[in-house]
Structures are given as C-alpha cells and as structure tokens.
C-alpha cells in the first residue's frame, strides 16, 4: 500500500491551505493554485450531481471526470461518497455493484492537535472485479476489496478484504467464503 504523507490540518482557512493542497496534488508553477482551485470546484460540482443521480452511465462519467478509475458494467447507486479531495486514488474494477450511501475515503488529515496520535496520509482504495459493496459501507484509505468479495451493509472496512469472502461488522470481519460467480473467476482474462 502506497501512502502519501500529508501535513496535519491547521484550520486557518482556504487561503493558507490552498498553496499546501495545490502542491500536495502536484499543481505547481505560476498558475498552480488557480488550476487546483478550479479542479476542487469541478470535483465538488461533479460529486454533488453524481451522488444524487440514482445510477447510470452519466453518474459514472461524472465520477471518472473527477479522476476516479471506474471499469465496465459498474453500478453505483444514490448518495455514494467518492472522496472528492483525492478521487484519483479510487479504483473500481469491472462488474462491481455499490449500494446506497457507501463511502470511499482516500485520505486522513486530522488537526494539528492530533499530531503523533493519528497519522495524516492519503492512500488508494481499490475495489476488485465483481465485488459487491452493500448499503452504508465505509471503506477507509489504503484498503483493497478483493475480487468477488461481498461487504455487508453498514460494515466499516479498515483492512484488506480477501477475494471471495463475505465480510461484515464494525470493524469488518470475515463471515464466510463465497464461491466465484458462475462462468467468471480467476481463469477469465
């Protein structure tokens, strides 16, 4: 798991945070802050619209335009939170279904008061082929949900989920293994 270390949040307003966040996202040069600011506006507008659309290709187009990598035959239902601050760290592979109000969080950035107690970082969230993410699931930065895995409604996923397992709870734990979808599995390319 590749983590991007972040500074702790100083909560001093947008003008003090903008240069740091622009640099953290790779926006440098004369117009780096402006380009980053426009990207933030774009991502939040796309997020607001996409999260309210029940499902469909237009929703996926909006999430992809934010930078999320989303495969084919993916269903993302309403009120799904694709982290608009680091969407480029989200990968959802082919055949994934995501239930309402699921959340994909790609960064942890606590206040300076928490320095040394809680790490500050951004890390990828990856959902492998044919996984099913239930309603209200929370997936934390740095987690990979394996191929064909099922995450029960309301689960909080803090660690990687093995392929073809059914997990649930807070924090999510293995409930049982599940068989691959007929005609699909590791042998399919």
Q: What is the pLDDT of residue 151?
A: 98
Report pLDDT for 14: 59
Task: Tell whether 5 is covered by a domain.
Answer: no
pLDDT for the residue 187: 47
Q: Which domain holds residue 21?
A: 13-177
Helices (H), the chain: 14-24, 32-52, 57-66
Using the Cα atoms of residue 57, residue 58, residue 63 and residue 67 in order, give the sign of their dihedral.
positive
Total structural domains within the chain: 1
**CATH number for the domain harbouring residue 38:** 2.160.10.10
Residue 183 in domain: no
What pLDDT shows up at residue 189?
44
Other C-beta atoms closer than 10 Å to the C-beta of 150 total: 21
pLDDT of residue 8: 83
Going by the DSSP 8-state scheme, the letter that residue 53 receives in this structure is S
Torsion of CA 127, 129, 132, 138, to 10 degrees: 0
* 165 belongs to a structural domain: yes
Which residues in the chain show pLDDT less than 50? 186-189
Express each pLDDT in 2-34 by its tens digit: 888 888 877 666 567 788 888 888 999 889 989
């Amino acid at each position: 798991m590749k983590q991007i270390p972040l500074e702790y949040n100083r909560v001093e307003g947008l003008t003090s945070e903008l240069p740091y966040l622009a640099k953290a996202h790779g926006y440098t040069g004369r117009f780096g802050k402006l380009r980053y600011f426009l990207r933030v506006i774009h991502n939040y507008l796309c997020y607001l619209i996409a999260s309210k659309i029940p499902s469909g290709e237009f929703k996926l187009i909006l999430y992809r335009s934010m930078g999320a990598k989303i495969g084919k035959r993916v269903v993302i239902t309403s009120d799904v939170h694709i982290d608009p601050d680091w969407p480029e760290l989200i990968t959802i592979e082919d055949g994934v279904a995501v239930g309402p109000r699921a959340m994909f969080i790609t960064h942890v950035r606590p206040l300076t008061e928490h320095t040394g107690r809680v790490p500050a970082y951004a890390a990828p969230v990856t959902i492998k082929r044919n996984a099913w993410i239930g309603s209200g699931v929370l997936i934390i930065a740095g987690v990979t949900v394996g191929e064909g895995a099922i995450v029960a409604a309301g689960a909080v996923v803090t660690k990687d989920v093995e392929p073809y397992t059914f997990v649930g709870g807070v924090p999510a734990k293995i409930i049982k293994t599940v068989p691959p979808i007929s005609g699909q599995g590791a042998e399919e390319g």
